[in-house]
Every structure is written in C-alpha cells, then in structure tokens.
Chain A
Amino acid sequence: SQKIEQNSEALNIQEGKTATLTCNYTNYSPAYLQWYRQDPGRGPVFLLLIRENEKEKRKERLKVTFDTTLKQSLFHITASQPADSATYLCDTGVFKAAGNKLTFGGGTRVLVKP
C-alpha cells in the first residue's frame, strides 16, 4: 500500500523567509498530490493539487512541485508570515470509478516567528 512520509520535526522559520516542506511517497506513482493546511482543533483545509503530468503549481505565495522520478513533492511558502504557522499535510490520490481514495502523510508543523 502507499506510504507517505513527511518530516515529523517542526520547521521553525523566520518571517519573510521561504519555508520548504517535503513529501515522499513509496510504491506506486499517484495520479495527483494534494496539500492541506490544518490548524489546531480544526479540519484540514485544501490548498493545492498537482497532477502527475505537472511539474509545478502556484497559488499566491504557495508553490508545489511534483517529481515522479524522485517520488517527491516539495511545498514552498514564500515570504512566510506568522499566520502561515500550522501543520501542512500531503496526500496522494488515485482515480477510481467513483470516489478518490487519499493516503495522507503525518504532516509537518510550521512555526513562523516574527
């Protein structure tokens, strides 16, 4: 079965710097990767999706890359702000006839210091 690995150590970063998070997957190559943000006591919130045939995706200060050779996705938060402090989850999905089954990583906590 698919296994998703994210750095379990918290990432402490200074405001204004770029935070880079790693998501590695084993086994089969997923059809797509998604990144979510989770705040304490809240459910995950969808941020970005990148498909297997896409190298890079951007949304405002967020950038995601997908390297099927390395079996890795990188998630970048540029010009980080204290409000970006949260846990970021990576997941992979495969397409099924109905319903997509996601496998989530354990998440990486990001702490942006002013």
Chain B
Amino acid sequence: DTAVSQTPKYLVTQMGNDKSIKCEQNLGHDTMYWYKQDSKKFLKIMFSYNNKELIINETVPNRFSPKSPDKAHLNLHINSLELGDSAVYFCASAGTNYGYTFGSGTRLTVV
C-alpha cells in the first residue's frame, strides 16, 4: 500500500553509463515531480508533470529526460552519467490538496 514508490533504492554505476529510475504513485494525484537532493541536503526541483504533460522543466542538463506514460508513473532516464550526478533523487506527487507525498528516494552513486 505504498503511496509513492521508487525503484531502485540504490544505484551504483560507472561514468558514461545510462540509467533509469522509476516512480509510481497510487494516490490518484494528477501531478508528479522529480527532485534532486545534494550532499548539502538541498532539495531542488527538476521536472514536474501534470496528467502526463511536462509543466516544469528547471535548468537540468539534456542528459536527463523524464517520461510519463500515464499520470501514475513518472520515470527519469539519465544518459552519460557524470560524477556530479551523484545524489539522492526523490519522486513526489501532489493532488488538489497541498502537501507533497514523497517517495523514499533513489541514492545514485556514479563512480
């Protein structure tokens, strides 16, 4: 009965590889987000989708590409991974009431 689930929880990969993180929510929310939390614990928004439509696209390298096959899923694909991409990536969803529901995060380590 997990509300927002992300997979995998941990991801260790080499520089230059391509990887994907998946996110699913069963809350019936219309809007989903990807956030990046760096080593200093700052949460920065990357993307937001509303009913499969991209509505927020922050200054993120083109190597990051979100995909939303339906409003319950928002995946994040990262090409040509770099050391600086190492961080914890959080998926979140929001409905008409305020307050985001976050997933438990994916810790990405690029070596």
Chain A interface residues toward B at CB < 8 A: 32, 34, 36, 41-46, 49, 87, 89, 91, 93, 96, 98-107
Contact = CB atoms under 8 A, between A and B. Distances in A.
Residues of B in contact with A, size category: 20 to 34
A50 B104 CA distance: 25
Interface of B: 4, 30-31, 33, 35, 40-45, 48-51, 53, 55-56, 90, 92, 94, 98-105
Contact of B56 (A46, A49, A101, A105): A101
Contacts of B30: 98
B55 A44 contact: no
B40 A43 contact: no
B50 A93 contact: no
A85 to B, nearest CB: 15
Given A41-B104, A98-B30, A101-B48, 18 more contacts: A34-B99, A36-B100, A42-B104, A43-B4, A43-B90, A43-B102, A46-B99, A46-B100, A49-B99, A87-B41, A98-B53, A98-B55, A99-B50, A99-B56, A102-B45, A102-B100, A104-B35, A106-B40
Contacts of A96: 55
Contacts, number: 62
The 8 closest A-B pairs by CB, nearest first: A43-B102, A46-B99, A104-B43, A98-B50, A99-B55, A99-B48, A99-B31, A49-B98
A90 to B, nearest CB: 11
